[in-house]
Structure 1
Amino acid sequence: MATFTLAHLSDPHLAPLPKPRLSELVGKRAFGYLNWTHNRHKIHRRDVLDALVSDMLAQAPDHIAITGDLVNLALEAEFAPSRAWLESIGTPERVTVIPGNHDAYVRATQNRFAESWGSYIAGDETSDHGAAFPAVRRRGPLALIGVSSAVPTPPLMATGWLGPSQLQALAKTLAGLAAEEAFRVLLIHHPLHSDAHNKRLTDSSEALALLKQHGVELVLHGHDHIHSATRVEGPKRQIPVIGVPSASALAHGRHPPAAYNIFSIRRDGAAWRCEQIVRGINEARRVREIRRITLS
């Protein structure tokens, strides 16, 4: 079987931020806007994102996965530019997206990401291109399983939640895929483990129980804006769980500069082989290979 390459980036936090209407700057958005104008606009740079995406496209991956936080405050004016950005990367056949907490920042626009990016989110069997999770997309030997942990939260909170209905549907999806000879990739915005109480996946124990019972080959996430590599229990072996920094960020504090991953996946007899290539931006705003890791 030929090698299939999957690129993964996350948390582009697209800049510039459109000027909000005064009526939009209430509650959580007011805090977020102050944070953006005082801090985050210095960190999340469009030139950095453009350089990273240009390098990624030059690698000609077979498919691209983006695990959320395309926008910042979920303003109405942010969604049309985010759709245009997706279209500049590729068609829905070549790009899969799931939402992050910033994409469902407030209740007023918590469903706008689904309306704007529907064809990039929808599973293969979703006829209306709507956002129904979990969404399964088969690309080459891969079964991409998109879930949504994106829910509106109070100020200063960035937690995620799958919820009983989505977990129940995910259990059925994973059980069905277990019988297939597919490389299963779970896409989720929040990490499955987090030490930060205000940023955690609140029902992670339930999600971990499903993975332990049914298994997947790989879990990809964003949210923490750092390089992350952990493993969780599966039914037969441990499952690699890989996080990636923000795709638009300059280095700040403990957070590294923008990076993305490419996974080279192939079938070798009865086993899957997967190699991770990490590429990131340096101080000269040039993208280079950081390291290669054999995952399985």
Structure 2
Amino acid sequence: MFRLAHISDIHLSPLPPVRYRDLASKRITGYVNWVKNRKNALECSVLGDLIDDMKAQKPDHIALTGDLVNLALNAEIDIARAWLEKLGNPHDLSVVPGNHDAYVPGALQKSCRAWEPWMRGDDIDNGGRAPQFPYLRQRGGIAIIGVSSARATAPFMASGDFLPAQAHRLALLLERTKQAGLCRVVMIHHPPVRGATPNYKRLFGIGRFQKIIKNYGAELVLHGHTHLATHYEIEGTNGATVPVICVPSASQSFGGHKPPARYNMFDISKSENGWSCEWSQRGILTQDNEITAIGTHLLALPSH
């Protein structure tokens, strides 16, 4: 049995000191949003308690689907690197970037270079440069495939993209890992599902992503971005359906307009028909911000 934890939308707080010149860009709107809405809703103490509870469940691997920072300030990116070092070593933790990690032009490259050890495919030497996506990691019988949907956008936009170059590489990785008999888990920040989020926050390339999954298959898709606990399905190979699962922000306190902090745990085992998975959720349900069990059920994974 392989135990995979899923967290997302960390939004590390508090913000480091912000200079006036840092705000001469889209960051001014993000900063105002932080002060008015997110400053009191996203708490580092909530995040710390959630991580402690998650680690107590002894996952074999952690999948983190983006938005480590808020405005992608240089200081934030460095703070996030230090936080990743405490969270887990690169062998046991896989990360993909989110739109906040690519908040302004140039930020995505800085983020990915700083966090490259957690975004590095097996047997790949990126030479200190930003990693290429998607990347592949094999842990036991599990193939962890990290896709990047992050891009810099205009003010009041939070969209992402999935372009043909990534689609081509994803197809190759899915086919290769299928032939190896692995359980394929795809990580992406934006939801690859139509209607899952408003248009200004959507993924451009949903049809392209779904076509790849339909043609080559996958067993599980994990994403973030919406700060919601959702479970969708998209079409896989031979008429099978592939679960697409999101988790609320790992730092959201109780009482906000989004669900409070939560993490997912997937216990994946080889079965006679392919793979079986027990999906459990733990997080906050009451205003005392205590981490507790939310629910457990069997998740149907498609067989090869």
- TM-score w.r.t. length of structure 2: 0.94
Cα distance, 1:192–1:252 mapped onto 2, change above 3 Å: farther
CA–CA separation in structure 2 for the residues paired with 1:257 and 1:195: 18
**C-alpha separation in 2, matches of 1:253 and 1:230:** 24
CA distance, structure 2, for counterparts of residue 76 and residue 201 of structure 1:
26
Amino acid at match of 1:209: K
C-alpha displacement of 1:27: 2.4
The CA deviation string for residues 227-284 of structure 1, in whole angstroms up to 9 with x for no partner, is: 0001110003100110000000024555110000000000012420101000012321
Alignment of 1:129-208 (within 5 A): 130-193=130-193, 194-208=196-210
Instruction: Please say which of residues 144-153 and 122-131 is displaced more in the overlay.
Output: 122-131
Residue 231 of structure 1 pairs with residue 229 of structure 2: no
Structure 1, 183-192 or 282-291: larger mean CA deviation: 282-291
Q: Which runs of 5+ in 1 are unaligned?
A: none
Aligned to 1:291: 295
* Aligned match for 1:260, one of 263, 266, 271: 263
Q: Which moved more, 1:106-115 or 1:216-225?
A: 106-115
Residue aligning to 1:91: 89
C-alpha contact 2:254 2:289 (8 A) present in aligned 1? no
Query: Shift of the alpha carbon at 1:108?
Result: 3.2
C-alpha distance in 2 between matches for 1:271 and 1:147: 24
Q: How many residues align structurally?
A: 294
Whole-angstrom CA distance in 1 between matches of 2:90 and 2:168:
26
| SS in structure 2 at match of 1:107 | coil
Using the alignment, how far apart are the partners of 1:179 and 1:292 within structure 2? 31
Q: Which residue of 2 aligns with 1:246?
A: 249
Of stretches 203-212 and 278-287 in structure 1, the one that deviates more from structure 2 is 278-287
Cα deviation 1:59-83 (Å, max 9, x = unaligned) = 1100001000000000001011101
Normalising by structure 1, report the TM-score: 0.97
Identity of aligned residues (%): 44
Partner amino acid, structure 1, of 2:291:
V
State the secondary structure of the residue aligned to 2:123: coil
* Per-residue deviation, residues 178-202 of structure 1 (Å, max 9, x unmatched): 2121110000000012241011101
Q: Which runs of 5+ in 2 are unaligned?
A: none
Preserved contact between residue 162 and residue 208 of structure 2 (Cα < 8 Å): no
Partner Cα distance (2:160, 2:219) in 1: 23
Please state how far the C-alpha of 1:26 moved relative to its aligned partner.
1.6
Q: 2:255, 2:70 → 1: CA distance? A: 18
Residue 231 of structure 1 aligns to which amino acid in structure 2? Answer: E
